[in-house]
Amino acid sequence: MDRRKFLKGSALLSGILTLSPFELFSSRNTICSNTIGRAKNIIFMVSDGMSLGTLSMTNLYSKNILGRESNWMNLYHEKKVVRALMDTASASSIVTDSAAASSAFGGGIRVKNGVLNMGPNGEKHLPIWQKFKKAGKKAGCVTTVTITHATPAGFCVNSEKRNAEPQIAEMYADLEIDVLMGGGDEFFNPETREDKKDLYTAYQKKGYQILKNNADLKNLKPGTKTLGIFSTGALPYSIDRTHLSEFKNTPTLADMAKTAIDQMKDHANGFVLQIEGGKVDWSAHANDVAALIHDQIAFDEAVKVAVDFAEKDGNTLVIITTDHGNANPGTIYGNDATKNFNSISDYKYTNEYILNKIHKEYSSKDVKDWIYEGNKIVLNDDEARQILGFYNGLEKEEGLYNYKKLPFKLYSEIQKKHNSVGWISMDHSGDYVEVAAYGPGSEYVQPFIKNTDLHDVMLKASHI
């Protein structure tokens, strides 16, 4: 053996072995960077407020009750994606809100909770969908909450207040975002806006077609700018849409995602699309397990739409993640844990729907009968009286999306005895969260990242 070649090879091997796994992975990416494909299109998916427990329980429910693996977890099993953990902190806290989290993705910098792409001295960071629009791509956002809510807004606009939703609705029109779908009629309708501006007419003058229901979604003009506003406030929870006839004409997240892709896919310069399962977060705030699991399933169906398109297209980067955890739900050890968890399949409605139907005129028997109809749970007399205490003004419960002071926490504690699901809080958490990336540019995703890194991944993947 040539001694010089042996020593040279030994030195190289020694150098490689001294690298940390992170450095070794980074080195691989550097070596391959010249051969990484270019992403013509980007689909960025956010299951808002999805703790790891939400992903786990939804996959468990999908396997136990629906007889199949969730689409997200199947991507892991089939080794189709690059997977990472992500730190979600904001500039002002280790626990972010959705505005700061979306600004990290959209503006590429951490900002204080409550603002959209605005620095501490009022400096504006150009949102990424504007960057892509300037590069000649089409851009869109779809969500199950108001289209002007923090997560879609963080990809598109600058605002000192995330709650400036009437103004954000106007900003979208000025920017001419190509596809906008979700809820929020109150921010476009002259009858409900304080300034009485008719934004629907303003959008039509800019060439938008206006969609109001599922039938409109199926009869739209291809390639035309689209504003789809399907409800006042957020869209209904998925499980309520399934069981309540008044919601039958509301599109699903997968419906909106497919339509948005179809509207933009033939554009010569490509497109960028954000897809948000916004009510995963709202259900976690309410500790509402049926709402949570079924809206995560709805998000998972949208994942399939996006990945199926990307597989066929070959030029699309799909990023699947969340902006932060919320309430950290999880299954609890016990002899009947599996049976208890599977009983969630008996739930017909969300806790929000069930608790809104109870009135102070109800007797304990009325409460017990209604709870059994909605969840197949048999309450005892003390539990029924406790619930009624909230409607008689004896007790009140706070919460971000609990405007009517409904007893969400109390009821989730009652449910826990029957479904073996517990919650640590009713608010956001600072946990590291899951990221999955498929397609050209996914190689840029490192094993552990900050939320701002995904901004850079999108820019690098598209070569702009």
Alpha carbon 96 to chain centroid, angstroms: 15
Position 227, amino acid? L
Residues annotated within the binding site for Mg(2+) are: 48, 149, 151, 276
**What gap in Å lies between CA 150 and CA 49, rounded to an integer?**
12
Tell me what percent of the chain is helix, strand and coil, each rounded to the nearest 5.
Answer: 45, 15, 40
If we measure between CA atoms, which residue out of 169, 118, 57, 104 comes closest to residue 324?
104
Query: Of 47, 41, 123, 18, whose CA–CA distance to 280 is shortest?
Result: 47
As separate numbers, helices (DSSP H) first and strands (DSSP E) second, the chain gives 20, 14
Binding residues: 48, 149, 151, 276, 281, 285, 323-324, 428
If DSSP states are collapsed to H, E and C, what string results for 36-53?
CCCCCEEEEEEECCCCHH
* Cβ atoms 436, 34 nearer than 8 A: no
Active-site positions? 98
Residue 145 vs residues 30, 35, 148, 153, 277: alpha-carbon distances, Å:
39, 39, 8, 12, 8
Kindly state the tokens that stand for 205.
Answer: 């003058």
Q: Tell me 213's DSSP state.
A: S
Binding residues for Zn(2+): 48, 281, 285, 323-324, 428
Burial 77-98 (b: 16+ CB within 10 A, else e): eeebbbebebbbbbbbeebbbb
